Amino acid sequence: MQDSKAIVIGTGVGGLAIAIRLALKGYQVEVFEKNSYPGGKLSAFEKDGFRFDAGPSLFTQPQNIEELFSLAGEPIENYFSYQQVPIANKYFYENGKQVKAYTDAEDFAREMKLQLNEDPQVVLKYLQQSKKLYENIGILFLEHSLHRAKTWFHGRVFKALSSVKLSYLFQSLHQYNSSKFSSPEAVQLFNRFATYNGSSPYKTPAMLSLIPHLEQNEGTFYPIGGMISITNALYQLALKKGVKFHFDSPVKRIVHDNGNVSGVEVNEQVYSAKIIVSNADVYFTYKNLLANPSMAKKVLKQERSSSAVIFYWGIKKKFPQLELHNIFFSKEYKNEFEYIFKEGKLSSDPTVYINITSKMQANQSPEGKENWFVMVNAPANKGQNWEELKKVLRENILLKLSRMLGEDIGAQIETEHTLDPIMIEQQTASYMGSLYGTSSNSKFAAFLRHANFTSSIKGLYFCGGSVHPGGGIPLCLKSAKIVSDLIVKANA
């Protein structure tokens, strides 16, 4: 029956998760994906014996995935396994200082004292406050729709609102961090968490100081087999629960009439369903799938998040001084964000992130070698000459890394592949190549992010990084849960 059918557009992590949840609720679920593979940004490839995760490389909150397998009654160990990583990140500064961000709070506090002369109690208090902020406010806002009146009458709302200090809204993250730490290095370290949703620490509110809780308090993890194993596990679980997938099948339009959805058009054929969930970028959905340019324009009233340029380098030798996650900070951090968000350019001194999964599993690269995922935050695509920008950026990255590591890194590159904002948009339909849809560069960005539903078209829902609660694997999985709850309640 049509009433029991649901269609999901896109196989990003949010799309896979909502497909599983709806299947477990008894819906006949069909998923349409324009690519020939599942996962969206969470994909992988191999080149010359080196394996690379193509997109997200940080894994936190494994409980979001465990919950899906628990609901499905499937033993997760048959599909997916992971291990905790003792060092969340290793930070390198231009002045020669280095910090290992241990995921044990006491160890991290001691490291901050040893390397940056920060008071250990100040560090511990910051992490405790981050935890309190997440538990009192974050959970409520990240796990419920902000666009339903019932949310605001939830018993926890009053507790959450009572814990909101004005400084969380009216101070920037940088101002907040500057008031907590004495060294510019520590401030820069905690400022960096704004980039986790594609924002600037000099604009985004101090509320984002809850993000370090996920990485430093709850822990950082490594999925065995790399990040692609998350996609593979969810895809296999979805298949096991009867979800039907159509690959190489881009949706042309969402069919609706008199304020109700009725199906999707794919390859000149209409597939009927009264429940449709778009896991595609919400701007793309309005502009291309709903042919509603006015609503698409409203989405663009919010500033787009940052994008990225990624170099995938097969490196000829091992670097024992590097960890799974590494950050090489720029000297002038504020300038970097001015370039990204004001000028739409790349700084000549960018902060460089390097992820090396062969640190965890030797089979991720040939023996004696390493697979480097080298990423720089970049502006969204506005028609820049990316080939020229990438050429200059590559030279600047190599100069920076060679200087800070004391070795000619360019001479160690055996194989190479790149990804830029244009390619990100082409592969994932993320408008302008923005990784997180809209940025959080305003005090009320969380409230302005698009809802998980639309009141103008019954039966149409949205999940994924471009809508509430935001981008990144944990939030995409939470968006799927929110949408599942909305659908169940609407059809009870």
pLDDT mean over 322-326: 98
Mean pLDDT of the chain: 93
Query: Which SS3 state, helix, strand or coil, does residue 314 take?
Result: strand
Per-residue pLDDT band at 262 (split at 50, 70, 90): very high
* Residue-level pLDDT at 3: 65
Of 98, 125, 96, which is closest to residue 109 (Cα–Cα)?
Answer: 125
- pLDDT tens-digit profile of 223-260? 999 999 999 999 999 999 999 999 999 999 999 999 99
Alpha-carbon torsion angle 406, 411, 416, 422, nearest 10: 60
DSSP secondary structure string for all residues of 27-79: -EEEEE-SSSSSBTTS-EEEETTEEEE-S---B--THHHHHHHHHHT--GGGT
- Measured CA to CA, the distance from residue 132 to residue 127 in angstroms comes to 9
Q: Which tokens sit at 469? A: 């609660």
Give the mean pLDDT of 297-304: 88
Residues of the chain above pLDDT 70, percent: 93
- Please say if the pLDDT value at position 302 is more than 90: no
Q: pLDDT by residue (tens digit) across 27-43?
A: 999 999 999 999 999 99
Mean pLDDT calculated for residue range 270-291? 97
394 C-beta neighbours (distance < 10 Å), count:
19
* pLDDT score of 178: 98
* Structure confidence at residue 2 as a pLDDT band (50, 70, 90): very low
Q: What single DSSP character describes residue 458?
A: B
Burial class (CB in 10 A: 0-12, 13-18, 19+), 215: buried
Give pLDDT tens digits for 341-394: 999 999 999 999 999 999 999 999 999 999 999 999 999 999 999 999 999 999
Q: How far is CA 282 from CA 196, 290, 363, 471, in A?
A: 20, 10, 38, 12
pLDDT digits 0-9 by tens, 417-439: 999 999 999 999 899 999 988 88
How far is residue 336 from each of residues 305, 376, 441, measured CA to CA in Å? 14, 10, 15
Class of domain 1-43+227-302+438-492: alpha beta
User: What value does the CA radius of gyration of the chain take, rounded to a whole number of Å?
Assistant: 22
Q: What is the DSSP string of 391-454?
A: HHHHHHHHHHHHHHHTS-SGGGEEEEEEE-HHHHHHHH--GGG-SSSB---STTHHHHSPPSB-
pLDDT tens digit string along 463-475?
999 998 988 999 9
pLDDT at 404 over 90: yes
* For range 96-116, the mean pLDDT: 98
Percent of the chain with pLDDT strictly greater than 90 = 85
- pLDDT bucket at 146, cuts 50 / 70 / 90: low
The number of CA neighbours under 13 Å toward the Cβ of 348 is: 0
Q: What's the rounded Cα separation, in Å, for the pair 383 and 393? A: 17
pLDDT of residue 160: 60
- For the cut 90, the answer to whether the pLDDT of residue 151 exceeds it is no
List the chain domain ranges. Answer: 1-43+227-302+438-492, 306-379+382-419
Mean pLDDT value across residues 144-159: 57
With a cut of 60, say whether residue 158 has pLDDT above it: no
